[in-house]
Structure 1
Amino acid sequence: MKLIRLATRRRVTIAMVTLAVLLFGLVSLSRLDLSLLPDLSYPTLTVRTDFAGAAPAEIESLITRPIEEVVGVVRGVRLVRSISRPGQSDVTLEFLWGTDMDYAALDVRERLETLALPLQADRPLLLRFDPATEPVMRFALARNAEADPAEDGLLPPVAAGDSNTELRLLRRFVDDRLKKDFEGIAGVAAVTVSGGLEDEIQVLLDQYRLAQLDLSAELVAQRLRAENVNLSGGRLEEGDRQFLVRTLNEFQSVEQIDDLIVATREGRPVYLKDVAEVRQGWREREAITRVDGEEMVELAIYREGDTNVVAVARQVDRALARIRDDLPPDLALTRTYDQSVFIRNAISEVVQAAVFGGLLAIAILYLFLRNLRSTVIVGLAIPISVVATFAAMYSSGLTLNIMSLGGIALAIGLLVDNAIVVLENIAARREAGDDWLNAARQGAGEVAGAVVAATLTTIAVFFPLVFVDGVAGQLFRDQALTVTYALLVSLAVALTLIPMLASLGDARRVRGQADDIPPKPQGFFATLRWAIGAGLTIASTLFVRIAGGLIAGLARVLGWVVHPLVRVFNRGYEALARRYPPVLEKALDHRGWTLLAAIGLFAFSLLLIPRLGMELVPSLAQGEFQVEIQLEPGTPLGETDLFMRGLDRFTRQQPGVARADSVAGTGRRLDSNPEEAGEHTGTLNVILDANADEATVTRAIRQYLMAQAGVDFAIRRPELFSFATPLEVEIAGYDLEQLRAVAGRVASRLEASERLSDVRSTVEQGHPEIQIRFDHERAARLGLRADEIADTVVRQVRGEVATRYTWRERRIDVLVRARTEQRDSVERLGQLVVNPGSPRPVTLDAVAELEQVVGPAEIRRIGQQRVAIVSASPGFGDLGAATEEARALLADLSLPSGITLRVAGQSEEMQRAFRSLVVALALAVFLVYLVMASQFESLLHPFVILLSIPLALTGAVLALFVTGSSLSVVVFIGLIMLAGIVVNNAIVLVTRINQLREAGQTRREAIVEAGRARLRPIVMTTLTTTLGLVPLALGLGEGSELRTPMAITVIGGLLLSTLLTLVVIPVVYSLLDRRRTEADLAEGSGA
């Protein structure tokens, strides 16, 4: 090949190009972003609409259904699902993969503009559902227990025992100072605060006193708004002077609010304090946050959607020192969660696995080559290919994540394969008598075609990944591109750098380089070119001599250490080399039995596949898990907090638990699709020690919760790949009572299975409601309207923010509502005066009927149809077995008319992903065949080589069965990779057989001789690839759940395929290849 001749002739040029590539690669590496996973573009939009005070049924009919009808026809929408809960509607649109979400969002907004919703409803808000909305960091602010009591601080002394004051001061400090400090950091999108007590001015009205004075709550709110104003009055000119006119009438103190005149009666002013109690309190709490049992104020930091987690965390760390220096001495800011730590650790583990894999591959090279110089030449292919891959990754916009780096680690063993084949053939030419230069040119040229074909077959298997749907295709795109880049670079290295370095073994040629410097020409530019060329020539000569000396010295030192190991290895390999030809001869003599044994082994592996189990993606342990709690609906926040404190205390007593933080209520959530909401819910986040047994801790928590009455719970790891729970049973129909009844029966059957756990139903429990039904005739006779009565009830019970009080640049709500004792029971609610200001007061129970009922907590819809969802997780075993058991349990369930049932969740997504991966595997095999047919110019020989793929499948299945691994998307990707890797050995073997037959040998002689000649490179490449994957297969460190199954698949398939390829492929070749050469004819006539 011209490229090889150019590489051996222009050695300095090749060296300079290599150095340039290394430089660009290192620069690119410094600029690559770190992330846990590739950028996943989840094709989902959520339309959220708030309608305060509305029940789920009203939300469904007035908000959800109209929105579904309008946006359901947007192009690219595959599914519409919704949740109608008290006061809020969430309509989620799932789009087909590949949909342009910017245009989709624009289309949805345009359709929402045409929608007529109730006037009381807020404007619909369009949200992008993105896992990036998980907080990057969490911090907790609390009293510093180690502070010196003599120092002045923010909080009152501990002896004062006023926890409410302490919590209010903490929340105030966070809102005024820390929140603003963190929001000013580059890359931070939002900072949410939960816990503590938020300031509020409360105006608690005495409705009876208001009725006596013919006043209303609406009038009080109007007076508060009217009297709390600061307005600009324009400019006043007096002569040559100008003045700004301002009306200053904002409240300056709570006492001033108390003394507000709200009306006059009989010429005497009525003050606000005459009809209400004005006090400085705090808002009704939506959540109580605790860290290690102590109540604190928490800050959750969210990054911008297009920023990098590690980069944002680094910016926060830089600002954190300054923020802590500005804290009062009695406050302590503690980091409770940092997403970047897991990412850094996961990336570090992959890098270590890649480095150790590379070292093992190089060690195998040395044991085979028994020459340090040759080992260094081939070993250079690894770092050069990896560093050059970083440049390609940077230009493609990829990031350093566990998938892209996993691709590099998987490719480590493959990177030296091409170099081994080239160098082995160069060594063979050298042993045949060629000098180093001709050996490099001829040896590399002879195998260049086979090397190119082998590389293209490996690369070809990644192209069908573009046809993989769902998260699987998005997830493994980075890995496919990374492996492709690395293999292309390794091919270039094998055909340029390896022959160039091998040709340097010609000492005469090296010594002659200095003499080859041409005489100095005339002219400035000619002289400059001459000087540069001469300098590079001398530099390359010095480099070769210095490198040669270092290698020779290193060889002498290492020889004393590794010589015994090399001697043992050589004995083992020589025994294999002696026994292989007789085994091959015997297989050729008994071809039928050989094929029958191979077919039997393959059939046995097929029988094992159903026993492997199936899952979508292995669960990724992050050293933490969440316990989600639901108490009886209507449970007040205080009781929920009391329960969470007991659970928190029990959890922290378990061995291996590093920390636990709890949230009672839902005030901390900042996602676009909260599954549950209310004061009766809670979440416990448990962080484990590095060596903790997660299963033991979760088992203890599960037993504790099962002993508690009236508690619904689920234990989950953070999900990274799917929003659905592992197993969902969707029950569709219209009647809510029928849905509730069927869901209860489904849940009971699933709970009876030991294989399933965390069984929950979306319609198990409802919220207690007080439904007010008006007597319209009675109200009309009294001159009252339903909307006026409803407004009065809302104003008295929920209250109305009349204005805001300014204090030290803080805007504090002024809430007007009835006194607590006048609205703390159904009976007193009925005594509310609904016509304030009238001479004859009318109470609510005089014009309406108050009924206590249990209404639905939420109404879910999928595909514009009401559904109830019963969810569960595998208690043990795999998702596939759990799904099959659920189907079996529900097979004979009788359903009312109009009710349908189907099993969905991750199991449905798993089946869809597996179908697309099977298609991708078939396309990969077909592409491999196309590449080989083009290389061999034959339709038969590629078919022979393809038989190594089912042999590899046999090895992969056996390895998965022995290690207890399940079939998953990760395993399927490993099988696709395997299809491109295992054929390489067969390509090398069949290519040599064809060459020997063309040289005049008989079919049998060529098969035996090719097997003997190619045994060493085949075993060498197999061991370098498998040992390069061993660190990945060990399953050590964070993120190993994604790497280990793929490595096990490739190792098992490659090892068994290699053993069988050396025997089965020659047998099949001898059966199918019916060409008759002159040597075959001569052998036949001689016989």
Structure 2
Amino acid sequence: MTFLAFCVRHAVPVIVAVLLAILFGVLAVVQIPRQLTPTVDVPVIGVAVRYLGAGPQEIEKEIVDKLEEQLNAVEGVREMTSQSQDGGCSIRLEFDWGTDLGVASIDVTNKLNLVPELPDEADEPTIFFGEEFGYPICFISLKGEGKTSDDLREFAEDVLEPYLKRVLGVSRVDVYGGRERQVEATFDPYTLASYQLTPMEVAQALAQANRNTRGGRIDELKNRWVVRTVGEFRTADDVEQVVLRRPGMPDVRMDELLEVSRQKFKDAEAYVRIDAAQGIVFAVHKKTGQNVVAIMQEVYQTVGYLNENILDRQAMRMEVVYDESEYIKRSIGQLNENVFICAALAGAVLVLFLRNPSAILTVFVTIPISFISTFIVLWALGRTLNVVSLAGLAFAVGLLVDNAIVVLENIYRHREMGKGPMQAALDGGREVWAAVAASTLTTVAVFVPILLIQEEAGQLFRDIAYAIAISVSLSLVVSMTVIPMLTARILRTRHGAGDASAQARGVWYWATFQWFGGWFKRRLTGLVAWILARPARRAVTALGILGVFGAALVGFLGITQPTYLPTGNRNFVIGFVLTEAGASLDHNLAVAKEIERRVYDVEAQVPASERMERFFAVALPGRVFFGARSADADKARAMADRVQAAVGSAPPPFLPGFMLEDWFRRNGRFLKEPIAGITVFAEQVGLFQHRGTIGGQTISVTVRGDDIQRLYAIAGRIQQRLAETTGVQFVNPSYKLGNWELRPTPDGKRCADVGLTKADVGYFVGALVNGVKVADFREEGGNELDLTLRGKPDFRRHIEAIGDVPLWTPRGGTVTLSQVASILPEEGYDVIQHTQQQRSVELETAIEPDVPIGQVVEAVRHDILEPMYADGTIPAEYVVDLRGTAQDLARMWRALQWSLVLALVIVYLLMAALFESFAYPFVIMLSVPLAVVGGFMMFWTMFFYNLWLGIPPPQLDVVTMLGFVILIGIVVNNAILVVAQALNYHRNEGMEIKRAIVASVESRIRPIFMSTMTSVLAMMPLVLRPGPGSELYQGLGAVVVGGLLISTVFTLILTPVVFSFGFGATERLHALARRWGLIVGDAGDAP
């Protein structure tokens, strides 16, 4: 007994299997992680070193050069970049996609262990992985009545942060705002010199005293006592009572040298403003692959618990000001609605064509069974439920009934031949299973090349590839098991009392549809017969269709400017502010307050329904960033424009005229005078934010060379031209000129004369100005603070006073700092960047959201770089690279092109195996260029449709281009049906080939149009219903829908015509080969 026969005759096991599949599918839906986009394993490892008080040049020389020398030997590193700036450095190792970061991290750790000794004041290198560089999943504010930001910071770190870190799935929590408390021991250099001491000696004495000493153990009878002398500092008195002993010198207590205070704070690293008040912000990051929705549910529970049980008593309040899960839930909610609409439209098509309740039910059950069962496989494969995977399932809804329709139609045919229900189900299913399996295989096979792409976009493709391939494969299983079983028991034939056609005569719309279907069928088959009657007609038709579509394809490809990934439509706007070089943190705070004031003034002028809900600003050394949340994601783009206008940043004047006019029409009344000395860039947060400072569409122009001043000059000229390029929104250089430094430079000879080393002078200056950590201070409550030795504030308020500070020398006597070091103000660097161990400068360039990045890349190459190389502005020894999304696009475009070729080859070979011919697949493959043209036509239709609606249009990004790959596996199915049935009529029923072709078209019009209409109508909600997340799949849907529509209509004309030529040519070649003796015996109808 065959498996098909078992399923037809044994209904209970089949029903039980279906129920189990639905049960486990529902469990999988509940358990599968939910997040906005698929998990992308970014092949990046970062190494960070904190070195407070050191400048970029010192860090470059003492840390970065040493680390890079070792890390350059790490296996598989594609690119190594680093940044040295005040207080620390970071090194970014980018590996080839697909690299096992676990193995790579071991190699990185081993190489770090080989690094020569780093400065004592530098922290140990810290390693970060891929998504740890990613965008936070939420921001949480903390405010309190009558509380300073310092108070809030201390409470946040000591009490609140541990609660957030304990949330399942959270990788780290960053705290912005306020200052960290420390125990500060301040010294007067004159006092130290009078006691013949240096800051280093004081620091060493404190470090030695701050330790517990193990004293062994004492056994007393049956008890064992561990002896431990406690010397750790617990109070300020403990520090002040430390005695410093020196041979031949009187003892000195620290209270004679130092003033110790537990209520001191480290220098502020950031200031935070939340809704026009000072506060604290928590940035919460998730672990890779974790469920964002589940994490945020627990975060909200934790915040509620903290507010109710801890913060209310402290007059404080925590509030989530940005939550990524809101967008995820809206996006998935919209897709869920689309899935139900898709299923309803597919069901409507079945009703329209079948008009038989039992047949409709039989086919329709394929959708829920296949759909729900898909989640089992996705869960088992470790995938997540996200916008991409759910969009793939929504696209697949219309395809799920294709196999069932073919099987049902064939079983119908056998029933009408007079066979019984069981026999008809067996014969009908057995007869088409090979063709159905082959058709499914071509649809699934095109995704094989996609699964091999390791790049970022390839990992995004995987979820949609898995979703469609799995669901369509499961629909094949359902169509060959459940469908025959059901038809054998509940299916009514189309004749007799249950004749649906007779019933349709009483319903005018069914009768009208039936009449129109018959009329169209007669017209189309008549047209095909008329064309096939004369060779000239066939030639003109084939050449005409191929010529028109070929010219259209060339035209579309000529105007195609690809971009990388969709920009997204979240309800959050992020802004970046570049301030003047060397600007103090207090100055940047004033800038943040001014931006805040202007934004609130502008928002007061718009309707309440369009205003922002939340606003926060963070002032950092060298820059400011801010965020604003909108209640409606569709209003966020307009809010970003208002923010730009509020700070006086109008759009570039070289934008197309209609875009400028539209911008000023909407935002002209909000435009204010620019804020002097700053550059502001505000944009709607995109779907993919893991790369770069800006995020969204960016081109990073990197200039590499040895002379840093020459680098700055070249980069400055490139930046000027970039800012004038159409489509460029903002240029963010990785450097700032005019960053002044006060550089004490020790004189080696003078230092040696008095017994000092350059390191002694450097330590003294560091302790005097920035302070040096000398020990850990553990309070009674268990809090651990830094004990910092630092000069009194009077000696660091004015740069003139530093040179007169006294320093005790080992040879006895006192010198001033200016006597052993030259102290000069010089222009320095705020950051020193390396690329592949060379000094480099990066110009991160933001592209307008609606401008294809490929267009800007071409302009940069041909209009900027090539002329600058030609006229010598860029010397030959300096290298300029295009990186960022431009580099990603180039890599992905190459991979996608190979995937298209490989998909075509795979489909061709599968059809060659199906038809046992290498000629007939060429006939079928001609439907592909028709589909590509149809895809472009529908894409541009939706582009202008969205512009008419006033919403962002779809872009020809790499996700949209995936639609053309999907078309290869789908559109050939209709041509397969026509060719296979024509060969069947010719070989098995002896029809003349032209008559067989016409009969094939006549018999296949109904299932072809039924499957096409179910697929197209089921996908239309994804194309026509813009909303959260739709920018990710709308373009892809437009391509597939357009390709299916156009190819279906013209394939029914072109395929019969070309097949008639191909069949005749094949027969003639076959006969010639027989005559020449190349073929012996009966080799069939195909070579």
Structure 2-normalised TM-score? 0.86
Q: Find the counterpart in structure 1 of residue 163 from structure 2.
A: 181
Q: Find the counterpart in structure 2 of residue 650 from structure 1.
A: 598
Give deviations 1:389-414, integer Å, cap 9, x for gaps.
12222222222222222221111111
Q: Find the counterpart in structure 1 of residue 518 from structure 2.
A: 574
Paired with 1:239 and 1:874, the residues of 2 have a C-alpha distance of 80
SS at match of 1:975: helix
The change in CA–CA distance for 1:561 and 1:244 in structure 2 (over 3 A counts) is farther
Which of 763, 766, 783 is 1:810 aligned to?
Answer: 783
Q: Find the counterpart in structure 1 of residue 917 from structure 2.
A: 938
The change in CA–CA distance for 1:812 and 1:49 in structure 2 (over 3 A counts) is closer
Q: Find the counterpart in structure 1 of residue 572 from structure 2.
A: 624
**One-letter code aligned to 2:643:** I
Paired with 2:748 and 2:728, the residues of 1 have a C-alpha distance of 52
Which of 759, 765, 783 is 1:793 aligned to?
Answer: 765
Give deviations 1:905-933, integer Å, cap 9, x for gaps.
21222122111111111111111111111
Percent same amino acid among aligned pairs?
29
Q: Indicate the larger mover: 406-415 or 561-570.
A: 561-570
Q: Find the counterpart in structure 1 of residue 969 from structure 2.
A: 980
Q: Find the counterpart in structure 2 of residue 909 from structure 1.
A: 888
Q: Find the counterpart in structure 2 of residue 606 from structure 1.
A: 554
Paired with 1:455 and 1:816, the residues of 2 have a C-alpha distance of 74
Q: Is the 8 A contact 1:755 1:882 kept in 2?
A: yes
**One-letter code aligned to 1:812:** L
Q: Is the 8 A contact 1:141 1:331 kept in 2?
A: yes
Q: Does residue 1:989 correspond to 2:978, yes or no?
A: yes
Q: Indicate the larger mover: 97-106 or 790-799.
A: 97-106
The change in CA–CA distance for 1:835 and 1:935 in structure 2 (over 3 A counts) is same
Q: Does residue 1:396 correspond to 2:350, yes or no?
A: no
Paired with 1:562 and 1:918, the residues of 2 have a C-alpha distance of 54
Q: Is the 8 A contact 2:570 2:633 kept in 1?
A: no
Q: Is the 8 A contact 2:576 2:625 kept in 1?
A: yes
Which of 326, 332, 336 is 1:341 aligned to?
Answer: 326
Q: Find the counterpart in structure 1 of residue 660 from structure 2.
A: none
Structure 1-normalised TM-score? 0.86
Q: Indicate the larger mover: 383-392 or 428-437.
A: 428-437
Q: Is the 8 A contact 2:737 2:829 kept in 1?
A: yes
Which of 593, 598, 602 is 2:540 aligned to?
Answer: 593
Q: Does residue 1:464 correspond to 2:449, yes or no?
A: yes
Q: Does residue 1:171 correspond to 2:115, yes or no?
A: no
**C-alpha displacement of 1:657:** 4.3
Give deviations 1:1032-1058, integer Å, cap 9, x for gaps.
112533221111111111000000000
**C-alpha displacement of 1:1074:** 1.3
The change in CA–CA distance for 1:719 and 1:58 in structure 2 (over 3 A counts) is farther
Q: Indicate the larger mover: 451-460 or 585-594.
A: 585-594
The change in CA–CA distance for 1:266 and 1:492 in structure 2 (over 3 A counts) is closer
Paired with 1:638 and 1:1020, the residues of 2 have a C-alpha distance of 69
The change in CA–CA distance for 1:200 and 1:988 in structure 2 (over 3 A counts) is same
Paired with 1:866 and 1:267, the residues of 2 have a C-alpha distance of 53
Q: Find the counterpart in structure 1 of residue 284 from structure 2.
A: 301
The change in CA–CA distance for 1:278 and 1:422 in structure 2 (over 3 A counts) is closer
**C-alpha displacement of 1:560:** 12
What residue ranges of structure 1 are gaps of 5+ in the alignment?
144-154, 509-548, 667-678, 1082-1087
The change in CA–CA distance for 1:856 and 1:210 in structure 2 (over 3 A counts) is same
Q: Find the counterpart in structure 1 of residue 747 from structure 2.
A: 775
SS at match of 1:834: strand
**C-alpha displacement of 1:254:** 4.8
Give deviations 1:615-635, integer Å, cap 9, x for gaps.
011112222132112211221
**One-letter code aligned to 1:32:** I
Paired with 1:297 and 1:364, the residues of 2 have a C-alpha distance of 56
Which of 877, 899, 906 is 1:920 aligned to?
Answer: 899
Equivalent pairs counted in the alignment come to 1003
SS at match of 1:1011: helix
Q: Is the 8 A contact 1:613 1:966 kept in 2?
A: no
**C-alpha displacement of 1:1061:** 0.7
SS at match of 1:368: helix
**One-letter code aligned to 2:155:** F
Paired with 2:905 and 2:1066, the residues of 1 have a C-alpha distance of 29
Paired with 1:2 and 1:239, the residues of 2 have a C-alpha distance of 84
Q: Is the 8 A contact 2:358 2:490 kept in 1?
A: no
**One-letter code aligned to 1:759:** V
Give deviations 1:862-894, integer Å, cap 9, x for gaps.
223222222212235211111122223313123
Q: Indicate the larger mover: 651-660 or 85-94.
A: 651-660
Q: Find the counterpart in structure 2 of residue 784 from structure 1.
A: 756
SS at match of 1:1074: helix
Q: Find the counterpart in structure 1 of residue 141 from structure 2.
A: 140
Give deviations 1:276-323, integer Å, cap 9, x for gaps.
474723221111122212111223333344533233333334444433
Paired with 2:222 and 2:137, the residues of 1 have a C-alpha distance of 59
Q: Is the 8 A contact 1:418 1:490 kept in 2?
A: yes
**Equivalent residue runs for 1:662-811 within 5 Å:** 662-666=616-620, 679-690=621-632, 692-703=634-645, 704-706=647-649, 707-716=674-683, 717-718=685-686, 720=688, 723=691, 726-765=698-737, 767-803=739-775, 804=777, 806-811=779-784
Give deviations 1:844-872, integer Å, cap 9, x for gaps.
11121111112122222222322222221
Q: Find the counterpart in structure 1 of residue 1054 from structure 2.
A: 1064
Paired with 1:250 and 1:468, the residues of 2 have a C-alpha distance of 57
Q: Is the 8 A contact 1:389 1:486 kept in 2?
A: yes
Q: Does residue 1:1031 correspond to 2:1010, yes or no?
A: no
**Equivalent residue runs for 1:264-413 within 5 Å:** 272=255, 276=259, 278=261, 280-305=263-288, 307-327=290-310, 328-329=312-313, 330-413=315-398
Q: Find the counterpart in structure 2 of residue 887 from structure 1.
A: 861
The change in CA–CA distance for 1:3 and 1:250 in structure 2 (over 3 A counts) is closer
SS at match of 1:38: coil
**One-letter code aligned to 2:883:** A
Which of 814, 827, 830 is 1:841 aligned to?
Answer: 814
Cα RMSD over matched residues? Answer: 3.2
Paired with 2:290 and 2:256, the residues of 1 have a C-alpha distance of 53
The change in CA–CA distance for 1:722 and 1:288 in structure 2 (over 3 A counts) is closer
Q: Is the 8 A contact 2:189 2:807 kept in 1?
A: no
Q: Is the 8 A contact 1:346 1:402 kept in 2?
A: yes
**C-alpha displacement of 1:663:** 4.4
**One-letter code aligned to 1:124:** P
SS at match of 1:633: coil
The change in CA–CA distance for 1:561 and 1:807 in structure 2 (over 3 A counts) is farther
Q: Find the counterpart in structure 2 of residue 528 from structure 1.
A: none
**One-letter code aligned to 1:184:** R
**C-alpha displacement of 1:10:** 2.2
**C-alpha displacement of 1:236:** 6.3
SS at match of 2:808: coil
Q: Indicate the larger mover: 712-721 or 782-791.
A: 712-721
Paired with 1:858 and 1:423, the residues of 2 have a C-alpha distance of 70
SS at match of 1:98: coil
Paired with 1:788 and 1:1001, the residues of 2 have a C-alpha distance of 102
**C-alpha displacement of 1:769:** 1.1
Q: Find the counterpart in structure 2 of residue 826 from structure 1.
A: 799
**C-alpha displacement of 1:972:** 2.2
Paired with 1:493 and 1:270, the residues of 2 have a C-alpha distance of 87
**C-alpha displacement of 1:495:** 1.5
The change in CA–CA distance for 1:61 and 1:382 in structure 2 (over 3 A counts) is same
Q: Indicate the larger mover: 172-181 or 212-221.
A: 212-221
The change in CA–CA distance for 1:1019 and 1:331 in structure 2 (over 3 A counts) is same
**C-alpha displacement of 1:240:** 9.1
